[in-house]
Chain A
Amino acid sequence: MNDLEYQRLLEAGWRRKLTSEEELHVQAFLVSRPDLQSDFEDDLALSQALEHLPNAPLSSNFTSQVLQMVSLDERMAERRLKLTRDWRWWINHLIPRVALGALTVSMGALGFLQYQKHSLQERAQNAGAFNRQLEVAARRVPAEMWGDFEAIRRLNTGVSASADDELLAALK
């Protein structure tokens, strides 16, 4: 056995108990290398110490707790999935309807505003036209025409067949 083989067996001893044959090989090697003897013994003792370390305390219902955690997690995942589905439903069904409703109301409001604006403009135009007619009338009627006003007014009191003759007579 050489140093390399000794190292290989030492490393094997880290993972498992050496077979009696392997131990004999090592012991035979150590006769020629007494400087390694105590180190090998410490290594062996350490391996045994680690081997005999007790297991960490584990509750007897560990597995059932894990399975329960898994069930709980699945339920929560389902709930999350349902929320996502609900949200998608809102997006797919309700939101288009709400949007359509909002669009209809907006169109109605817009139409009403347009109508109001149009009728205000129309009223303003009418008022403007009336004022213009008044101004034109005031400017164009000659003052002497007002002299016949009383005669014309009297004609309205009684309409006769010879209204035209009476008018002519009145104008003379």
Chain B
Amino acid sequence: MSSPVDPDAALMLLVKQGDRDAFEALVEKYKQPVMNLVYRTLSDGTEAEDLAQHVFLQVYKSAHRYEVSAKFSTWIFTIARNLCLNEIRRRSRHPAESLDQASAEHDDMPARQFEDVKTFSPPDSLLQGELETKIEEALRELPENQRTAIQLCRNEELSYDDIAETLKCSVSAVKSLIHRGRETLKQKLKPYLRTGAWKEK
């Protein structure tokens, strides 16, 4: 159960009353964590962003049903995960269709604007880039529940109970998923991890 003073839940209750500013504050706070989760599940930047936007749209549309029975973060990550799983199922049924086609009616939406956030110094860039690619690949190859558990585990706001609620399993099952996922990652990334390139400077 969540604490009654969860600030995000309080914001969500304002959204329930139609407060757009509260909704904007929630989008600002959760856009990156949600996008990270979706991106690493779908592995396609454009579709991941479409789906992340749909997560927030879903949050807004479901606001009238929102009850403070769990942490807001648990709720939004559950929505994000469910939409990802739906998308994966949809892809397996219709492999050629893209989400862009489904949202063709949104043609009047502004085009996306990306800024380059990668700021490696030239000597580090090759090694760093390779390591990132390897770890992204290794993450992608993990089963969905292990990957999601590992990602949510890095979010300090979520307790194991919250992750268990998001993944609809027990806390011990969550720990087991994380353990197995990390063991697989360690096996795959061993040569890279031992270079020490990740050690904090």
Contact = CB atoms under 8 A, between A and B. Distances in A.
A70 to B, nearest CB: 5
Contacts of A46: 182, 185-186, 189, 193
Given A46-B185, A58-B31, A68-B109, A15 B115 contact: no
B117 A49 contact: no
A151 B5 CA distance: 130
Contacts of B145: none
A86 interface: no
A67 to B, nearest CB: 7
A56 B39 contact: yes
A157 interface: no
Among A16, A42, A59, A60, the one with the most B-chain Cβ atoms within 10 Å of its Cβ is A59
B197 to A, nearest CB: 8
Contact of B135 (A49, A62, A67, A70): A49
B186 to A, nearest CB: 5
Interface in B51-105: 52-54, 56-57, 60-61
Nearest to B45: A57
Contacts of A63: 24, 27-28, 31
Contacts of A39: 186
Contacts of A15: 153-154, 156
Contact of A45 (B45, B117, B194): B194
Contacts of B114: 57-60
Given A15-B153, A62-B53, A64-B110, A52 B198 contact: yes
Contacts of A73: 57, 60-61
Contacts of B110: 61, 64-65, 68
Interface string A29-57: 00000000001001101101111111111
A43 B112 contact: no
Contacts of A42: 186, 190, 193-194
B139 to A, nearest CB: 8
Interface in B107-151: 108-110, 112-115, 117-118, 131-132, 135-136, 150
Contacts of A57: 39, 45, 49, 114, 117
Contacts of B200: 48
B118 A54 contact: yes
Contacts of B193: 42, 45-46, 49
A73 B193 CA distance: 47
B35 interface: yes
Contacts of A55: 32, 35-36, 117
Interface in B20-34: 20, 23-24, 27-28, 31-32
Nearest to B28: A63
B23 A70 contact: yes
Contacts of B106: 69, 72
B31 A62 contact: yes
Contact of B113 (A48, A61, A66): A61
Contacts of B118: 54
B49 A62 contact: yes
Interface string A61-91: 1111111111011000000000000000000
6 contacts: A42-B193, A45-B193, A49-B192, A50-B150, A62-B112, A69-B54
Closest 5 CB pairs of A and B: A56-B39, A59-B112, A45-B193, A49-B198, A48-B198
